[in-house]
Chains A and B, each alone.
Chain A
Amino acid sequence: MTVVERREIALVDLLDRLLAGGVVIKGDITLRIADVDLVRIDLNALISSVNAQVPSPFEESP
């Protein structure tokens, strides 16, 4: 368990949890960002960061 803990957490694993998990609450500011949008933003951010030579549409889950 400690070995796993010490290893740097991969960003994708983190985003799976931070952008798709957690309680969604209507904050004063983020009420419209919180849910669906954020997942899309996540994909946009990731895709734009991917090397431009790799045209990589994010795969839909089956």
Chain B
Amino acid sequence: MTGLRYVYAVCRPFGTPLQSQLTGVGGDPPRLLPHGDLVAVVSHVPEADFAEEPLRAHLEDLDWLTGVARAHQGVIDALTTVTTPLPLRLGTVFRDDSGVRTMLEGQKESFLGTLDRLEGRVEWGVKVFIEADPAQETPATPSPKPASGRDYLRQRRMRTKSQDDLWQQAETFATRLHETLSGSADDARLHAPQNPTLSGVSGRNVLNAAYLVPRVKSEEFVERVDRTKDGTPGIRVELTGPWAAYSFAGEEAAGQEGT
């Protein structure tokens, strides 16, 4: 069985071998497929799971998606220790090696350009949460039972006002943080705020950003984020990374901002 080719990333050729026990998507070890000045990192995957129709169906299955996402990330992570990979979107599949080579040949210029832009850089994720959901906080500070309709309306107005204040405060905080961090990063991207039901973390996500930072400046960047953490009560800052530059791999991220 030869299978299809799942492609994780495109890199410049690198000398260091990958960890031998590394397994990728579907348990297949990642292999290097060199072509000219580029190397594609691929796994052989079964057609029964990765042809268009089964793949589409599988992607709706969160357990399956989680497995593939973790395996994909595992390979990208391993690559990050030996080179600067250009990660591809999850689920990029080719029929055979020659399909992958044709793709490398066709996109050569754009890949090399993007790899130059990302060289020696990593991505840091920064999220800002409003710590306590005001709606949940209400029962903790019980207000006297409204004596009249007018009382009720006044209480409701006050609750709405404190909610607005917290939002306002969080928004100001997040905007300022984003400006500061953008200033010490080569590039920045905003992701959609995460739904608390899905992320399983407490609080409301008001900023979900990614910053492209030179490796050598990472420590400084992390310290900068850390310093903001104890600043404002009710607001929580979370840092993730270092990631491969997933959020900066696309063409729309090709440094065209502000040109």
Contact = CB atoms under 8 A, between A and B. Distances in A.
Contacts, number: 157
6 contacts: A17-B210, A17-B243, A17-B246, A21-B249, A27-B103, A46-B62
Contacts of B241: 4
Contact of A4 (B59, B60, B94, B240): B240
Contacts of B95: 28-29
B51 interface: yes
Interface of B: 4, 7, 10, 50-52, 55-56, 59-62, 65-66, 69-70, 72-73, 86-95, 99, 103, 107, 111, 114, 123, 125, 191-195, 197-201, 208, 210, 218-219, 222, 239-243, 246-251
B246 A41 contact: no
B93 A30 contact: yes
B133 to A, nearest CB: 13
Nearest to B90: A18
A25 B103 contact: yes
A49 B34 CA distance: 39
B175 to A, nearest CB: 13
Nearest to A11: B66
B89 A19 contact: yes
A27 B239 contact: no
- Interface bracket on A: 35 or more
A35 to B, nearest CB: 8
B89 A38 contact: yes
Task: Give the dominant DSSP class at A's interface.
Answer: loop
Contact of B195 (A9, A33, A59): A59
A48 B60 contact: yes
A24 to B, nearest CB: 5
Given A12-B194, A15-B69, A58-B198, A22 B250 contact: yes
A51 to B, nearest CB: 8
A14 B93 contact: no
Given A27-B93, A27-B94, A29-B95, A45 B198 contact: no
Given A21-B247, A24-B89, A61-B192, A41 B69 contact: no
B73 to A, nearest CB: 6
